Structure 1
Amino acid sequence: MRESDSDQSMASVVSRNIAALLERRQAEERTKRTQERVADAITTFTGSMPFVYIHLALFGGWILVNSGWLSIFPRFDPTFVMLAMFASVEAIFLSTFVLISQNRMQASADRRAELNLHIDLLAEHEVTRIITLLTAIGEKLGVDESRNPELEELTKDVQPEKVLDTMDQVEQENKEE
């Protein structure tokens, strides 16, 4: 196989995977509930510069009018209590919308992490089986490397629960130090 043939087959695999991921993302977007769409739209807008400009103009105008610097308008909130109330209520709602969007994004990230773990475990299992097969072939052919002590350890399947237990134990030991 020529290098260009290899590049094309790799490109087709990559293209297929990209298309599958994009289709999945679009399907998830289509199945979003109305309240999720609203929360996302609000979060997207509030995280934009037009939102900042609008607030700069509104709050700036409010302050200028109520501090007496723009005398063409009557002062309607000289103590700025209403401004503080509006800003506080807005902050409550905006933080709620941001949290809704973040919770959904975290759930999506958790699903991707679980998929990654599953794929990693499958790949680990496949590599272990390949090493076992290659070791057997090496022994049959009399290849000295097949007697490498590291190979014996590599032929053992990884048990994720034991890895997690060990990680927890090491983390706990580090906290105690």
Structure 2
Amino acid sequence: MPDSDSDQQMASVVHRNIESLLERRQSEERNKGVQERVADAITAFTGSMTFVYIHLVLFTGWILVNVGWLPVMKRFDPTLVILAMFASVEAIFLSTFVLISQNRMQASADRRAELNLHIDLLAEHEVTRIIELLTAIGTKLGVAESMNPELEELRQDVRPEKVLETMDRAEQELKEE
């Protein structure tokens, strides 16, 4: 059963990490440029149900007026060509804003992935050193398990470039099949 001191210490470490990550996210948000803020605001609005409802009302009204079913005003686009052009131009701009936001989110995701890789490599290196130390202690104490051949393999540092090369070769072989 875990003691409360280690739970409290773990909780404080977790709490510190969460606060650090939140502070980083808030800092990035504060440092966004005007163009990024505008693109994010537009993307957030266009991804809402309010945007859908507004378009539903506007497009329905436009169509009903211009096919003559809603005689509240004179028909101004009887072939609906202007509506189609308006919708096309709007789609171009909206897709551009979405792409801008996605590019920024992808760059952020790439930074997080690199951070995860660095942390994973550091943890792997630390575990390798712990295995070396425990193997040496086990050998000195005459523990039979310390002679396990798997330990020698585990004591080797992982070289990320070698892992990537192996992954690339395996991917290439799959493509050639």
Displacement after TM superposition at 1:4 (Å)? 1.8
Q: Secondary structure at the match of 1:79?
A: coil
Which runs of 5 or more structure 2 residues have no equivalent in the other structure?
A: none
Q: Which amino acid aligns with 1:102?
A: Q
Displacement after TM superposition at 1:5 (Å)? 1.7
Partner in structure 2 of residue 173 of structure 1: 173
Does 1:86 find its partner at 2:73? no
Q: Which runs of 4+ in 1 moved over 4 A?
A: none
Partner in structure 2 of residue 110 of structure 1: 110
- Paired with 2:20 and 2:99, the residues of 1 have a C-alpha distance of 29
Displacement after TM superposition at 1:77 (Å)? 0.2
Q: Deviations over 1:97-134 (max 9, x none)?
A: 00000000000000000000000000000000000000
Deviates more, 1:40-49 or 1:167-176: 167-176
Q: Secondary structure at the match of 1:126?
A: helix
Alignment of 1:19-38 (within 5 A): 19-38=19-38
Partner in structure 2 of residue 138 of structure 1: 138
Partner in structure 2 of residue 3 of structure 1: 3
Q: Deviations over 1:5-34 (max 9, x none)?
A: 221111111110000000000000000000
Partner in structure 1 of residue 119 of structure 2: 119
Aligned length: 177
Change (3 A) 1:33 1:9: same
- Paired with 1:41 and 1:146, the residues of 2 have a C-alpha distance of 60
Displacement after TM superposition at 1:136 (Å)? 0.2
Q: Which amino acid aligns with 2:47?
A: G
Partner in structure 1 of residue 63 of structure 2: 63
- Paired with 2:8 and 2:55, the residues of 1 have a C-alpha distance of 52
Displacement after TM superposition at 1:2 (Å)? 5.5
- Paired with 2:166 and 2:26, the residues of 1 have a C-alpha distance of 39
- Paired with 1:60 and 1:38, the residues of 2 have a C-alpha distance of 28
- Paired with 2:10 and 2:98, the residues of 1 have a C-alpha distance of 39
TM-score, normalization by structure 1:
0.98
Q: Deviations over 1:48-90 (max 9, x none)?
A: 0000000000001000100110012111000000000100000
Superposition CA RMSD, Å: 1.0
- Paired with 1:109 and 1:141, the residues of 2 have a C-alpha distance of 47
Alignment of 1:159-170 (within 5 A): 159-170=159-170
- Paired with 1:156 and 1:44, the residues of 2 have a C-alpha distance of 48
Displacement after TM superposition at 1:39 (Å)? 0.1
Which runs of 5 or more structure 1 residues have no equivalent in the other structure?
A: none
Partner in structure 2 of residue 16 of structure 1: 16
Partner in structure 2 of residue 39 of structure 1: 39
TM-score, normalization by structure 2:
0.98
